């Protein structure tokens, strides 16, 4: 295909197209593709940001998997944040409930976002959250606390050699981001 009668102009136009395409490639291909791959392969122990719709399946009562919970605060996040139960033994296929405790000791209203990460990373795709406080931001008035629910199912297809799954939440202070977004409206 020729873009111009002049061969030099033709070459230049084609190359400019490549440049523009590669710039766009970063935004419209690399970023979404990375996220898709992360979700699918559990790169970084990322889990899906959407609630899992449970398909009814048999509970494998023969097998028991330990699920550990970890809570960390990012940077200077002042909240108290911890799991109510630090680990539980679950059967693949069964629905499980637990809660995390969060308290805002400051005088101000704050908004937090919890980011989940699963280890080992290859367990991430078998760890389904049917309900999670991490799907939404968590606002909390100063000097108050709350219990945040988590409901999950460990998939029956979890590779047999995985006996422990660690679910870690990192709590980020997103108060500024939220107020900026309101201000910009």
Partner 1 sequence: MSVVKRISNALAAVAVLPAVALGDNQVNMSPGVTSIGAEIYDLHMLIMIICVVIGIGVFGVMFYSIIYHRKSRGVVPSQFHESTKVEVAWTVVPFLILIGMAVPATSTLLEVYDNDDAELDILITGYQWKWKYEYLDENGENVSFFSNLATPQEEIYNTDQKGEHYLLEVDEPLVIPVNTKVRFLVTANDVIHSWWVPEIAVKRDAIPGFINETWTKVPEEGIYRGQCTELCGAYHGFMPVVVHAVSREEFDAWMGSKRADKAAQVAASAVDLSLDELMTRGESVYNSQCLACHGAQGEGGVGKAIAGSAIALGDVGAHLDVGIKGVAGTAMQAYGSQLSDVDMAAVITYQRNAFGNNTGDVIQPSDVVNHKQG
Partner 2 sequence: MGDHHHGPAKGITRWLFTTNHKDIGTMYLWFSFAMFILGGTFAMIIRAELFQPGMQLVEPGFFNQMTTLHGLVMVFGAIMPSFVGLANWLIPMMIGAPDMALPRMNNWSFWILPPGFLMLASTLFMEGGAPAFGWTFYAPLSTTYAAPSVTFFIFAIHVLGASSIMGSINIIATVMNMRAPGMTYMKMPLFVWTWLITAFLLVAVMPVLAGAVTMMLMDIHFGTSFFSAAGGGDPVLFQHIFWFFGHPEVYIIILPAFGVVSQIIPAFSRKPLFGYASMVYATASIAFLSFIVWAHHMYTVGMPVAGELFFMYATMLIAVPTGVKVFNWITTMWRGALSFETPMLFCIGFLVLFTIGGFTGLMLSIAPVDFQYHDTYFVVAHFHYVMVAGAVFSMTAAVYYWLPKWSGRMYNETMGKVHFWISFIGFNITFFPQHFVGLAGMPRRIPDYALQFADFNMMSSIGAFIYGASQILFLYNVLATIIAGKKVTDEKVWDGAEGLEWTVPTPAPYHTFEVPPKLDPAHAHG
Spell out, one character per residue from 64 to 83, where the chain touches partner 1: x when CB under 8 A holds, - when not.
----x-x-xxxxxxx----x
Contact 109/160 with Cβ under 8 angstroms? no
* Minimal distance, residue 49 CB to partner 1, in Å: 13
* Minimal distance, residue 19 CB to partner 2, in Å: 5
Residues 6+ apart with CB under 8 A from 70: 83, 166, 167, 168, 169
CB atoms within 10 A of CB 150: 22
Binding residues for partner 2 restricted to 46-105, rule: CB under 8 A:
46, 49, 74
| Of 143, 149, 144, 138, residue with least CA distance to 172 | 138
- Asked if omega into 145 is within 30° of 0 (cis), the reply is no
Binding residues for partner 2 restricted to 155-184, rule: CB under 8 A:
170, 172-174, 177, 180-181
Binding residues for partner 1 restricted to 157-176, rule: CB under 8 A:
161-164, 166, 168, 170, 172-173, 176
Among the listed residues 2, 3, 4, 31, the single contact to partner 2 using CB under 8 A: 31
Q: What is the DSSP string of 108-151?
A: S-EEEEEEEEEESGGGGGGEEEEEEGGGS-EEE-TTEEEEEEEE
Q: Does residue 130 belong to the site contacting partner 1 (CB under 8 A)?
A: no
Question: Which residues are at the interface with partner 2 (CB under 8 A)?
Answer: 7-8, 11-12, 15-16, 18-20, 22-23, 25-27, 30-31, 34-35, 38, 41-46, 49, 74, 113, 115, 121-122, 170, 172-174, 177, 180-181
């Amino acid at each position: 295909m020729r873009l111009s009668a002049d061969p030099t102009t033709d070459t230049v136009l084609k190359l400019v197209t490549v440049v523009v395409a590669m710039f766009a490639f970063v935004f419209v291909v690399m970023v979404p593709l990375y996220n898709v791959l992360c979700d699918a392969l559990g790169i970084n122990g990322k889990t899906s940001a959407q609630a899992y719709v449970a398909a009814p399946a048999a509970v494998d009562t023969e097998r028991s998997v330990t699920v550990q919970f970890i809570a960390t605060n990012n940077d200077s996040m002042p909240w108290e944040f911890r799991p109510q139960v630090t680990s539980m033994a679950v059967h693949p296929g069964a629905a499980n409930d637990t809660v995390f405790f969060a308290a805002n000791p400051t005088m101000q209203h704050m908004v937090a976002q919890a980011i989940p990460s699963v280890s080992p990373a290859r367990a991430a795709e078998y760890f389904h959250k049917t309900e999670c406080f991490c799907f939404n931001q968590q606002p909390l008035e100063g000097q108050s606390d709350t219990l945040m629910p988590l409901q999950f199912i460990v998939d029956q297809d979890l590779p047999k050699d995985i006996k422990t799954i660690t679910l870690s939440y990192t709590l980020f202070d997103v108060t500024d981001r939220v107020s900026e977004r309101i201000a910009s409206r």
